[in-house]
Amino acid sequence: MHYVQIHKLPGHDDVNIPEKMSSSASGYDLYAAVEEAVVLHPGERKLIPTGIALAMPEGLEAQIRPRSGLALKHGITCLNTPGTIDADYRGEIKVLLINLGQEPFAIARNERIAQMVFQEVPAVQFERVEVLSDTVRGAGGFGHTGK
Ligand SMILES: O=c1ccn([C@H]2C[C@H](O)[C@@H](COP(=O)(O)OP(=O)(O)OP(=O)(O)O)O2)c(=O)[nH]1
Ligand SMILES: [Mg+2]
């Protein structure tokens, strides 16, 4: 179990903190902390506040991912998916939504707009070499193994 500190930003006491909607869900749903309903017109993108900030242990990150229901029914997704929340970020978590659908989409306060998944992130140290080890794949990629 990892302990993550959560801070509710002033004026957002009424906004729910991220929540799992089933006991083994991967994602904690994020709630919109918009003051009043925000409309995303087709093709439009907007940064939606969540009213929360986190302090997680070093070695973790949080990913902001779309909700599939919003994507399927309304064409609403995260433009930068998965969004990266760094362990040392202390600002408000925001969600960059885009409307890829054909109809305007309204986001109300306390509506679930995306989900946040925590991941362990290994630290690496680069070791510069002149030659890399051989593999069967080698430099083949981008469809090299067939359709
Ligand atoms: O969907 C997102 C993505 C990022 N962030 C915040 C937390 C993250 O730690 C910070 C920086 O994100 P990122 O590294 O993706 O953006 P950048 O364009 O590289 O900005 P920076 O130069 O600040 O790292 O912005 C969010 O709140 N929501
Ligand atoms: Mg960055």
Model pLDDT for residues 13-32, shown as the tens digit of each residue:
999 999 999 999 999 999 99
Predicted ipTM beyond 0.90: yes
User: Do 119 and 61 form a contact (C-beta atoms < 8 A)?
Assistant: yes
> Tell me, what's the pLDDT at 84?
98
Is 52 near ligand 1, meaning CB less than 6 Å away?
no
Indicate the CATH number of 5-120 among 3.10.20.30, 3.40.50.300, 2.70.40.10, 3.20.20.20.
2.70.40.10
In the reported structure, the alpha carbon of residue 80 is separated from the centroid of ligand 1 by a whole-number distance in angstroms of 10
Report pLDDT for 59. 97
Q: Indicate if ligand 1 lies below 6 Å from the C-beta of 74.
A: no
Torsion of CA 68, 32, 17, 67, to 10 degrees: 0
Atom of ligand 1 nearest to the CA of 64: 1
Beta bridge partners of 7: 53
- Only one residue has tokens 């305007």, namely 104
- What's the pLDDT at 30? 98
Can you give the residue ranges of every domain in the chain? 5-120
Per-residue confidence (pLDDT) for residue 68, from 0 to 100: 98
Low-confidence ranges of the chain (pLDDT < 50): none
Instruction: Count CB neighbours of 52 within 10 A.
Output: 20
- What value does the mean pLDDT of the chain take? 97
- Cα distances (Å, whole numbers) of residue 11 to 35, 48, 76, 92, 113: 10, 15, 26, 13, 19
Pocket of ligand 1 contains residue 86 by CB under 6 Å: yes
